[in-house]
Chains A and B, each alone.
Chain A
Amino acid sequence: MGAPGCGKTSLASALAEILPPMTREEVLQVLLIEQVSDIPTYRRDLAERPFRRPHHSITASALLGGGVPPKMGECTLAHCGVLFLDELTEVKPQALDALREPMELKKIHLARSSWRVTYPSDFLLMAACNPCRCGERLEADAECRCTEYSVERHLDRISGPLYDRFDLVAQLNRVKAPTLQASLDQSDVTRTISIQAKVRAAWEKQKERCADFGEDFFFNSQIPIDQLMPFMQMNKNCQKFISELAEEMRFSFRAFHSVLRVARTIADLRAAEAVEEVDLALALEYRLALPSIMSERSYTG
């Protein structure tokens, strides 16, 4: 979320580059989907993950699939890859909310009177939007011209349950002139490669750990709630710290667990065994509450 031109879309496109390549099985699944749906592949090599970026005017059935005979929707085409919705606040609310089930189940059951199908849809949902109509709301040195009412209407298109499902909400701010200059001077190829390596290492680590626990999943996001705590390996201080903060920030059940999982992943990225306070603090940075953008401040304080 951030002001226009601050780099949301570029950042999103960069995600495709840092994701590790697909496994053999995934490659086969994706190839199958591409064959069945008869869309040309835009991927540079077989192991590259799909990156789908439909226009924001998309309808619910184009997103989920449907028609006669049944066709796959964007969330199936993004299987094993990324579904990127730019201008999230412009997408029809019905279409957005339809995403909730496939996100939870990792597949989608479509049913019409004449046919029934189940398509896989295990995708990473990524979205970008402006915080308000003028886009300046989160900037420190710009004046937002929007009224509270218009901000509310703008953000109302993202339903609470959907927003709650985003594990990371990154706030982007405009960069200052010196940084802009620096961005022209240095080439980012080396950095991309090092990030790529880090992500791959974290990815492997998660797989390994999950295998140690004898589970058939391998991402932190898939750890069942009752097994979350042993995975975290937090000390007493950390536990106290996060429970105090959870109370202060009035987390929902899902939000609390999401913070823990994100913290686990951040710890994985720095190749640490145990989750520490720093990881939790950084994870909290990625929970930007919608009401805090809409209205000025919680009034009860």
Chain B
Amino acid sequence: MSALISENKEELLLAQAFLLAANKCRISLRDRRKLITNARNLQNLIQMRQAETEEGSQTSLREDLFINFQISYRENFKQLQSENKKYPADLTVILCNDQAFPQRLKEIDSCPSLLFGQGGNWEILNSSSLVAVVGSRTPSHYGMEVTRCLTRDLVDAEAVVVSGGAVGIDTLAHRHSLAAEGRTCAVLGSGLNRPYPHSNKNLFSEISSKGGLVISEFLLDEPPKKQNFPQRNRLIAALVDALIVTEAGEKSGTLITADFAADYGREVFAVPGSVFSGRSRSCHQLIKEGASLLQSASDLEFILKRKPDPALSTEENTAGGASSKTSLSTEEKIVLECLCIAPSSLTELSRRSQLPVEQLALLLAHLQKDGFVDRARGLYTACAPAYSF
């Protein structure tokens, strides 16, 4: 076991030295990939001469630049070795010439030369259906409900859910796929030794320990820089078959992801929201620009390996005890109707529904018990099953 870790660690150091040297010598991503392909592994690259490269896969590097690069590579490697930093044992590296390297990534021009991963389960990125679920960092209750139902359905259809590990929709997508025992992949915009957002640290270790994967193309100790996130978004877009934006307000970063996805020929889906609230503005813009409107997971049928089980998804849509309760009283329907328009407090609800507070409190308690209503941020909010009544 210890041998494995030390071997692993050397690989990590080599990979970091490679990235540092390549950054310093401003070597393009394309040439980086060629260097690795020619050398077959990072160990060889230290000693290799450029002349040894195969015919036809010649890099555009000048001889002197290559020598500079190699010097810098060796120096960096030595320095990293002498620093002897401690890294978690579950970190892995994958090179772009590896069999298990995500095939979908290879299709794009800006494919990274190597990826760091927390957890070694790289084959999930080559499974038959990968779907990205992304969205706002400050979702509304509606966005959260959509993400919950959708993620559950995707996991049921054996899709791997990819997201960015950020707070909000991303976190929910990961959490719900873990809860449904699905495998999920988080793509970070910072180094894996410095995961951002820090509050999701536990989430990331849970993902990697439950057969999922947390990946990043950045140096292990890279801080979360602003410019890293659009780069990260391109990875998300490239990794998947379809991108779903569940909720995104104005000027959302998910628009960048959607742009990349469209460039790479991936299907882009957006979930519509209310036209009165600004919370889904970016989703609506995407639909205007030609993204497909997503109503339920069955709209993804042509991408998914397995159909989402209709029995399961109806049960999901009338979650919990709600399925056993088929008829609601008139008052209950009035309450749900009011709540479907907007979440509200008890007094506000009483004003809108014209029902006395006492009666409302009782109705709400019952509805809460049956899973129709939830209290989020102190406001009563309709859950997914409420909309089907």
A residues bordering B, Cβ < 8 Å? 1, 131, 137-138, 140-141, 144, 147-149, 152, 171, 173, 176, 241, 244-245, 248, 277-278, 280-282, 284-285, 288, 292-293, 296-297, 299-301
What is the minimal beta-carbon distance from A41 to any residue of chain B, in angstroms?
37
B378 within 8 A of A: yes
The 9 closest A-B pairs by CB, nearest first: A281-B361, A281-B365, A138-B378, A281-B362, A299-B175, A171-B378, A173-B345, A282-B361, A278-B358
Assess A131 versus B378: contact at CB under 8 Å? Given A278-B361, A280-B365, A301-B148.
yes
Which B193-211 residues have C-beta < 8 A from chain A? 197, 199
B34 within 8 A of A: no
A284/B361 in contact, CB under 8 A: yes
B368 within 8 A of A: yes
Assess A140 versus B342: contact at CB under 8 Å? Given A171-B378, A296-B144.
yes
Assess A293 versus B377: contact at CB under 8 Å? Given A299-B172, A299-B175, A299-B176.
yes
Q: Mark B338-376, 1 if CB is under 8 A from A, else 0.
A: 000011111110010000011101101100110000111
Assess A292 versus B377: contact at CB under 8 Å? Given A244-B369, A281-B364, A284-B361.
yes
A297/B376 in contact, CB under 8 A: yes
B33 within 8 A of A: no
CB-CB under 8 A from A140, the residues of chain B are 342-345, 348, 379
Please name 7 pairs of A and B residues whose Cβ atoms are closer than 8 Å in the assembled complex, sorted by A.
Answer: A171-B378, A173-B347, A281-B365, A282-B361, A288-B378, A292-B376, A299-B172
B377/A138 in contact, CB under 8 A: yes
CB-CB under 8 A from A248, the residues of chain B are 368-369
What is the minimal beta-carbon distance from A299 to any residue of chain B, in angstroms?
4
CB-CB under 8 A from A284, the residues of chain B are 361, 365
A297/B358 in contact, CB under 8 A: no
What is the minimal beta-carbon distance from B106 to any residue of chain A, in angstroms?
34
A148/B377 in contact, CB under 8 A: no
**Looking at the complex, which one of B176, B199, B376 makes contact with A296 (CB distance below 8 Å)?**
B376
B361/A285 in contact, CB under 8 A: yes
**Looking at the complex, which one of B144, B172, B365, B377 makes contact with A245 (CB distance below 8 Å)?**
B365
In angstroms, Cα B345 to Cα A176, docked, is 12
CB-CB under 8 A from A299, the residues of chain B are 172, 175-176, 179
B139 within 8 A of A: yes
10 further A-B contacts with Cβ under 8 Å, apart from A140-B348, A245-B369, are A131-B377, A138-B379, A277-B365, A278-B362, A281-B364, A284-B361, A292-B378, A293-B378, A296-B144, A299-B179
In angstroms, Cα B81 to Cα A292, docked, is 47
Q: Mark B134-157, 1 if CB is under 8 A from A, else 0.
A: 000011010010001000000000
**Looking at the complex, which one of A147, A245, A282, A300 makes contact with B167 (CB distance below 8 Å)?**
A147
CB-CB under 8 A from B199, the residues of chain A are 148-149, 152
Count contacts on B: residues with CB < 8 A to the other chain: 36
CB-CB under 8 A from B377, the residues of chain A are 131, 137-138, 292-293
Q: Closest residue of chain A to B360, judged by CB?
A: A281
CB-CB under 8 A from B347, the residues of chain A are 173
B residues bordering A, Cβ < 8 Å? 138-139, 141, 144, 148, 167-168, 172, 175-176, 179, 197, 199, 342-348, 351, 357-359, 361-362, 364-365, 368-369, 374-379
In angstroms, Cα B385 to Cα A11, docked, is 37
CB-CB under 8 A from A138, the residues of chain B are 345, 377-379
Interchain Cβ contacts within 8 Å, total number: 80
A297/B342 in contact, CB under 8 A: no
Q: Closest residue of chain B to A152, judged by CB?
A: B199
B365/A173 in contact, CB under 8 A: no
Q: Closest residue of chain A to B379, judged by CB?
A: A140
**Looking at the complex, which one of A144, A152, A176, A277 makes contact with B362 (CB distance below 8 Å)?**
A277
CB-CB under 8 A from B345, the residues of chain A are 138, 140, 171, 173
In angstroms, Cα B181 to Cα A300, docked, is 12
Q: Closest residue of chain B to A147, judged by CB?
A: B167
Q: Closest residue of chain A to B139, judged by CB?
A: A296
In angstroms, Cα B357 to Cα A282, docked, is 9
CB-CB under 8 A from A244, the residues of chain B are 369
In angstroms, Cα B308 to Cα A77, docked, is 65
What is the minimal beta-carbon distance from B22 to any residue of chain A, in angstroms?
34
Most central of B141, B199, B365 by chain A CB within 10 Å: B365
What is the minimal beta-carbon distance from B51 to any residue of chain A, in angstroms?
54
A297/B167 in contact, CB under 8 A: no
What is the minimal beta-carbon distance from A205 to any residue of chain B, in angstroms?
19
What is the minimal beta-carbon distance from B159 to any residue of chain A, in angstroms?
20
Q: Closest residue of chain A to B145, judged by CB?
A: A297
Most central of B144, B345, B346 by chain A CB within 10 Å: B345
B376/A285 in contact, CB under 8 A: no
In angstroms, Cα B32 to Cα A53, docked, is 68
What is the minimal beta-carbon distance from A109 to any residue of chain B, in angstroms?
38
CB-CB under 8 A from A293, the residues of chain B are 377-378
In angstroms, Cα B377 to Cα A137, docked, is 7
Assess A297 versus B369: contact at CB under 8 Å? Given A278-B361, A282-B358.
no
CB-CB under 8 A from A152, the residues of chain B are 199
What is the minimal beta-carbon distance from A290 to any residue of chain B, in angstroms?
11
CB-CB under 8 A from A245, the residues of chain B are 365, 368-369
CB-CB under 8 A from B179, the residues of chain A are 299-300
CB-CB under 8 A from A147, the residues of chain B are 167
What is the minimal beta-carbon distance from B26 to any residue of chain A, in angstroms?
36
In angstroms, Cα B342 to Cα A281, docked, is 22
CB-CB under 8 A from A288, the residues of chain B are 375, 378
What is the minimal beta-carbon distance from B16 to any residue of chain A, in angstroms?
29
In angstroms, Cα B376 to Cα A171, docked, is 12
Q: Closest residue of chain A to B356, judged by CB?
A: A278
CB-CB under 8 A from B361, the residues of chain A are 278, 281-282, 284-285
Q: Closest residue of chain A to B343, judged by CB?
A: A140
Q: Closest residue of chain B to A151, judged by CB?
A: B377
Q: Closest residue of chain B to A138, judged by CB?
A: B378
Q: Closest residue of chain A to B319, judged by CB?
A: A301
CB-CB under 8 A from A301, the residues of chain B are 148
In angstroms, Cα B381 to Cα A292, docked, is 12
CB-CB under 8 A from B362, the residues of chain A are 277-278, 281
